[in-house]
Amino acid sequence: MKIILLTRKHHVSKSAALNWGLVLATLMLLIMIPAVTGYFFGIHRNWVDASMLPKDFAQQWQNRIKLQDQKVNVTLQVAEDQFKALTLRVAELQARLVRLDALGERLIDSSDLRQEEFDFSKKPALGGPDDADLGTAYEPPSFLMELGRLADEIESREQQLAVLQSLMTDRKINEDVFISGRPVVKGWMSSRYGRRTDPFTGRLAWHKGVDFAGKEGTDIIAVAAGVVTKVGSHSGYGELVEINHGQGYVTRYAHCKEVFVKVGDVVRRNQVISSMGSTGRSTGPHVHFEVLRNGRHVDPSRYVNRSKKI
């Protein structure tokens, strides 16, 4: 191939022959120079970035991964321990529920209450409108639901037992303050309530109580629970104990030898309050027993002879 060159000044033409091999080599060189330059520039840049990393970079990452694994293992162990603890708690609640049921049934049997009022084998009836809009219902895990169910049942049983205890307490109080029985364990009725011949004057007189004669020092007991309101020597009565039983009832125990209670003491039914003597206006060891209702004397015989309240 030839190339002809023309000049403006001299209008002379020149020709030159081109070597195709040389042309191709030149083109290849022009193409390779940018490529090679970019390649080496990239390598250099990578070397620079790698040189900026810490020498123990890989070790640090390995240590971090190991630490994360340890934390995960610890978390799993804690979760497992908590689950075991919850399992034990469920077992304890179940055992407690069984004991409450057994106690409730035994109390019902011993208290003569109606079984259907305190049926511990059935769940309590619940209900009522629910106006709260909580959106999608949340369902807790099964073991939490079981704990909640047991807690609700225990609360229900405890409420039933509280009501049962209240009823039994009220009944026990009514039984304790219910006046009945003799004021002595041993002795016999030597004088009744009402008109009689006075042992000192021989004339008719009104006897406000009943007398129980016996051996000196015999125990005198309270015929009902109450609060001691009087203790000490009183004209005609000698050493006296007076007990207020509430609901307008008061009992008196006179001619005592010794007194074992004081004013303000709370006494139980059949508690020994004094011993039989012959103090005051008396012809021998006995206890003069009176019953007052709303401040008026009544015949003690009706209380002595009546049965214990059921």
Q: Judge if 192 and 297 occupy the same domain.
A: yes
Q: Does residue 64 form part of some domain?
A: no
Q: Judge if 277 and 213 occupy the same domain.
A: yes
Q: Judge if 231 and 259 occupy the same domain.
A: yes
Q: Judge if 90 and 25 occupy the same domain.
A: no
Rounded-to-integer distance, Cα 6 and Cα 8, Å: 7
Percent helix, strand and coil across the chain, each rounded to 5?
45, 25, 30
Closest among 73, 98, 74, 114 to 154, alpha carbons compared: 98
pTM score, whole prediction: 0.49
**What is the count of structural domains for the chain?**
3
Which are the contacts of 248, defined by CB distance < 8 A and separation ≥ 6?
A: 293, 294, 295
The predicted structure's pLDDT at residue 310: 45
H-run or E-run covering 153: helix 142-177
Q: Does residue 125 form part of some domain?
A: no
Q: Does residue 242 form part of some domain?
A: yes
Q: Judge if 104 and 146 occupy the same domain.
A: yes
Q: Judge if 167 and 114 occupy the same domain.
A: yes
Q: Does residue 14 form part of some domain?
A: yes
Give the range of the structural domain holding residue 259, as residue numbers without chain letter.
Answer: 188-304
Backbone angles phi, psi at 100, to 5 degrees: -65, -40
The predicted structure's pLDDT at residue 92: 76
Consecutive sets of 10 residues in the chain, 310 residues long: mean pLDDT of each?
Answer: 54 55 65 62 50 64 78 79 75 72 65 57 55 54 68 71 62 70 92 88 89 95 94 94 92 96 93 96 94 94 74
Q: Judge if 157 and 250 occupy the same domain.
A: no
Backbone angles phi, psi at 307, to 5 degrees: -75, 160
Q: Judge if 95 and 200 occupy the same domain.
A: no
Q: Does residue 57 form part of some domain?
A: no
Q: Does residue 58 form part of some domain?
A: no
Q: Judge if 192 and 299 occupy the same domain.
A: yes
CATH number at residue 256: 2.70.70.10
